[in-house]
Amino acid sequence: MVGQTEARREGVAALALRPAGGALRLRRAWQVARANPLGVLGGLLIATLVVVGLFAPLIAPYPINEFSGLPARGPSAAHLFGTDKFGQDIFSRVVHGARISLEVGFLAVGIGTVVGMAIGILSGYMGGVVDAVVQRCVDTAIAFPQLILLLVVIRVLGPSITNVILVVAIGIIPGVARVVRGAVLSERQNQYVEAARATGASGARIMLRHIAPNVLPLGIVIATTLLGSAILAEASLSFLGLGVPPPNPSWGADISASRTSFPINTWAALFPGLAISLTVLGFNLLGDALRDVLDPRLRGAR
């Protein structure tokens, strides 16, 4: 009861404080952007990636899997990045590869973060036995060498896009759970939690309506940073031949395929690698900036 009122009051106050009109909001956004140029750069990189991924069929000059040119040729007018060992247009494959990377990245991180946060919140809030057990499991999972965990699970499930997403998500969950739990532990001390409990709000309600929203920024920051690692993880798996199955245009798989015909095919190795690097760079820059903006405690350390 009190909790509800309090929240409403906060909301009203917030409304009152909110600058009236889009112009002011824009100005604030501009100020934030100016203070975080790298973050903006990151955001632009990601935005480009998303656009490319969404409109891949429109942007790519050739459909994937079409052997449109002579094999292993360098950049030319017809093929911006050259052709790979099959004669496929590298530019088209990189563009379509953006789709796969985004799909794997966002889905894996999305699932992993949500599940990880849920576990972290439950564990952190409920404490006691539940917390102890969950934390031991998390420790175990973290102790297990990552790549090997991925390998073993992929062997059991078999290589496919869905399984890669699953595997990467599984790899993310323990780390997220641990960090979120830490944050929940400190949140739990706050006054409003006690107040809510005093008014008889159930544990679930508190977790959902109070704690979760407060650890959400942390979750977003973690997720953004994790997107970079997720994409690297998918690339590594595909590089080893256990990721996205051919002939899907995965950047990691394309680099792997190109190596068997280096030195002829430097281009086929170069461009997907650049694509991965720029994508991960974008997410890292954005993640850093977000962390600086959303997490006031760290602002001082900038």
Partner 1 sequence: MHRYIARRLVMAAAILWFISIAVFVLLRVSPGDPALLQQGINATPEKIAAVHRELGLDRPLVVQYVRWVGQVVRGDLGRSVLTQTSVTEEFRARFPVSLQLMLMTLAWIVLIGIPLGIISAVKRNSPVDYAVRLLAILGLSVPAFWVATLTLMVPAQLWGYAPPLGKQIALWENPIDNLRQFGPASLVLALGPIASIMRLTRSSLLEVLRQDYIRTARAKGLRGRAVIARHALKNALIPVVTVLGLLSAGLLGGAVIIEQIFALRGLGQYIFTSLLQKDFPVAQSLVMYTAAAVVLINLVVDLLYAVLDPRIRYT
Partner 2 sequence: MSEICGRNGMGRRATRRAALRGGVLVAAGAAFALACGGKKEQAATGGAPAATARAGVAPTTAPNQQPKVGGEYRVGFTGPFAGVDPHNSVYGGSGIVPIVYNYLIRTSLVAPEKGILQELAVSQEQPESTTVIFKLRPDAMIQENKHGVPVRPIDAEDVKASFERVADPRSASNGFSWINEWVDHFEAVDKTTFKIVTKSPYAWVLNNVGNNLYSAIVPREWLASPDLKKHAIGSGPFILQSVEEGGQAVLTRNPNYWEKGKPYIGTYIIKSFADLATYRTAFTTNQLDVYSAPNVEEAKELLKTRKDAQHLQDPSFGFLSFWMNVREKPWDDPRIRRAVRRAVNPQEYIQIIGRGDGFWIGPITYAMRDYALPEEEVKRLMPYNPQEAKQLLQAAGQPNLTFKFQHPTSSNVIDYVNIFVRQMQAVGITAQAEPMDAGTWVAQYFQSKLTASLSLNQEYANPDFALHWYVTRGITGNGRYDTGFSDPEVDAAVKKAAGILDEKERIKAYQEAQRLIIAKDPPFWNFFGIRSNVLVSNEVINYPRGLGSLGYGFVKDIWLNR
Residue from 8, 9, 136, 205 that binds partner 1 (CB under 8 A)? 136
| Residue 260 C-beta: closest distance to partner 2, Å | 5
Q: Which does 153 bind (CB under 5 to 8 A by kind): partner 1, partner 2, none?
A: partner 1
Q: Of the two residues 65 and 214, which places its CB atom closer to partner 2 in the complex?
A: 65
Is position 67 an interface residue for partner 2 (rule: CB under 8 A)?
yes
Using alpha carbons, select from 157, 180, 297 the residue that is nearest to residue 237. 157
* Alpha-carbon span 268 to 261, nearest angstrom: 9
Binding to partner 2, residues 229-288 (CB under 8 A): 241-242, 245-247, 256-257, 259-264
Q: Which does 276 bind (CB under 5 to 8 A by kind): partner 1, partner 2, none?
A: partner 1
Q: Of the two residues 93 and 291, which places its CB atom closer to partner 2 in the complex?
A: 93
* Alpha-carbon span 89 to 106, nearest angstrom: 26
Stretch that binds partner 1, among 65-73, 79-87, 123-131, 139-147 (CB under 8 A): 139-147
Q: Which does 159 bind (CB under 5 to 8 A by kind): partner 1, partner 2, none?
A: partner 2
Tell me the sheet residues that pair with 89.
83
Query: How would DSSP label each residue in 217-269?
Result: HHHHHHHHHHHHHHHHHHHHHHHTT-SSPTTS--HHHHHHHHHTTTTTTHHHH
How much is the CA Rg of the chain, to the nearest whole Å? 23
| Residue 82 C-beta: closest distance to partner 1, Å | 16
In this structure, what are the phi and psi dihedrals at residue 61, rounded to the nearest 5 degrees?
A: -70, -25
Residue from 159, 182, 217, 273 that binds partner 2 (CB under 8 A)? 159
Report residue 55 as tokens. 């409109």
Please state the three-class secondary structure of 16-61 as a single string: HHCCCCHHHHHHHHHHHHHHCHHHHHHHHHHHHHHHHHHCHHHHCC
Report residue 130 as tokens. 């539940």
* Alpha-carbon span 206 to 215, nearest angstrom: 13
Report residue 176 as tokens. 């997220």
For the chain, report the end-to-end CA distance as a whole number of angstroms: 40
| Count of residues in contact with partner 2, rule CB under 8 A | 24
Residue from 147, 198, 208, 216 that binds partner 1 (CB under 8 A)? 147
Binding site for partner 1 (CB under 8 A): 38, 136-137, 139-140, 143-148, 151-153, 155-156, 228, 232, 235-236, 239-240, 252, 255, 259, 262-263, 269, 273, 276-278, 280-281, 284-285, 288, 298, 300-302
Binding site for partner 2 (CB under 8 A): 65-67, 71-72, 85-87, 155, 158-159, 241-242, 245-247, 256-257, 259-264
